[in-house]
Amino acid sequence: MIRLEHLQIGYGHCVIAQNDNNIACAKGKFITLIGANGTGKSTLLRAISNNQHIIKGNIYINDYNTNNISDLYKSKTISVVLTNREFSQFLTVEEILYLSRAPYTNFLGKLTPSDIDFVEEIMTDFEILKLRSRRLSTLSDGQLQRVLIARALVQDTPYIVMDEPTSHLDVHHKAEILLKLRDYCHQHQKCIIFSSHELSIALALADEVLAIHDLKLTHQSKAEFIGTGMLAKMFPSPLLNFKDGLLGLKINDDKSKTHNFKFFNPLQPLY
Ligand X SMILES: Nc1ncnc2c1ncn2[C@@H]1O[C@H](COP(=O)(O)OP(=O)(O)OP(=O)(O)O)[C@@H](O)[C@H]1O
Interface ranges with ligand X (CB under 6 A): 11, 16, 35, 37-43
Residue among 135 and 197 whose Cβ is closer to ligand X: 197
Rounded to whole angstroms, the Cα distance separating 257 from 238 reads 15
Nearer to ligand X, 39 or 145 (CB): 39
Helix axes 141-154 and 171-187, enclosed angle (nearest 10): 0
Give least dist CB 163 to ligand X, A. 7
Q: Which is nearer to ligand X, 181 or 212 (CB)?
A: 212
Do 159 and 77 touch, CB atoms closer than 8 A? yes
User: Which of 29, 41 has the CB closer to ligand X?
Assistant: 41
Among residues 18, 15, 47, the alpha carbon closest in space to that of 212 is found at 18
Query: Shortest approach of ligand X to residue 180 CB, angstroms?
Result: 23
**DSSP one-letter string for 43-98:** HHHHHHTT-S-EEEEEEEETTEEGGG--HHHHHHHEEEE-SS--S-TTSBHHHHHH
State the minimum distance, in angstroms, from the CB of residue 190 to ligand X. 22
Question: In whole angstroms, how close is the CB of 212 to ligand X at the nearest point?
Answer: 7
